[in-house]
Amino acid sequence: MNPGTMAGLRRPGARAAVLILGAVVALSWWHTAGGVRPVDGPCAAPDEGAGSPAIADAGGGDAPAGGNVTETRPMLAVVIDDLGWGLPGTREAMDLDVPVTLAVLPGGPFSRAEADRARALGHEVILHLPMEPLSGGRSATGGTITTSMDETAIRATMLRHLDEVGPVAGFNNHTGSRATSDPRVAGVVVGVAAERGLYVLDSMTTGRSVLHAMAWRMGVPSAINGVFLDNEKDESYVRSRLALAAGLARSHGSLVAIGHVHPVTLKVLADSVADIEKMGIVFVKASRVVGAQSAPTLELADPRLR
């Protein structure tokens, strides 16, 4: 390094710039070198969750895109995936007396009916978009967004799903560990969300997902899932995961946690509401958390998802 360059670096502003650039490069290397570990585990879909481990008003959203600006208490947004198939636990999800967000799979025998009922009851509804997992499998619902599709096919598939489910506030991914890691695919689905005025909820079925980062880059309201609640359908397990979610919400101010339509999950959730509220935590729809997680970071997630 020549003397002129050394002299420049002695200036405080120059040294700060070099330090910031170095941090950015290091973070980028950490991510691409495997610092963010893919997580695949048993759930309603092949790659949804970790084996161990935040807008359109038409979908029931109760805050404008960009998040809540008046709530000072920690916020916990619980999302229940896999509605649309008449699964056990559907009625219990609909009957919850705290704000929740219900994610409806397209292609089910009751997709539109359950979405309509959820909206009528005042719940926030989002599209649970089937996306390609690392296993290469396809969703039983059909219409999976895959990395082999061109932009036209991706757009047409997502728009068809949106039309089927009806008015929604946003979307999250169903499986998708392969598709959400592909910047091209992520860019197309985030673009459709932008056109429709929807928020993006990255389910984080893999730590390599770029959905949230792509949405942030494109200026689309978004959030990430911090905790999967029910990879094991066991009351004590779900209770411990819900406690973890509540703790992270208190630590960070807001958190999204994803569960699934299942009697065990819904029983534990209903039984835990009072205790969580006593902790000073308020249950909110996911649209209230969107914007609170404005930068693409894994800081709000369970460390075992990183």
Q: Which residues contact 123 (CB under 8 A, 6 or more apart)?
A: 60, 94, 96, 99, 100, 101, 102, 285
Report the pLDDT value the prediction gives residue 243, as an integer from 0 to 100. 97
Taking the C-alpha atoms of residue 76 and residue 255, their distance in angstroms, rounded to an integer, is 5
Q: What is the pLDDT of residue 48?
A: 41
Alpha-carbon distance of 7 to 86, in angstroms, equals: 70
- The predicted structure's pLDDT at residue 157: 98
Query: 174 with 45: CB under 8 angstroms?
Result: yes
Helices (H), 140-234: 151-165, 183-196, 211-218
Interatomic CA distance for residues 55 and 99, integer angstroms: 16
Beta bridge partners of 254: 75
Residue 235: the pLDDT is: 98
DSSP letter at 34 equals I
Phi, psi of 95 (to 5 degrees): -85, -5
- CATH class held by domain 41-295: alpha beta
pLDDT at residue 71, as a whole number: 75
Q: What is the pLDDT of residue 4?
A: 45
**pLDDT value of position 117:** 98
> Mean pLDDT by 10-residue block, N- to C-terminus, for the chain (306 residues)?
42 41 35 31 38 41 46 94 98 97 97 98 98 77 89 98 98 96 98 98 94 94 96 97 96 96 98 97 96 58 54
State pTM to two decimals: 0.78
Give the Cα separation of 257 and 102 in Å (integer).
12
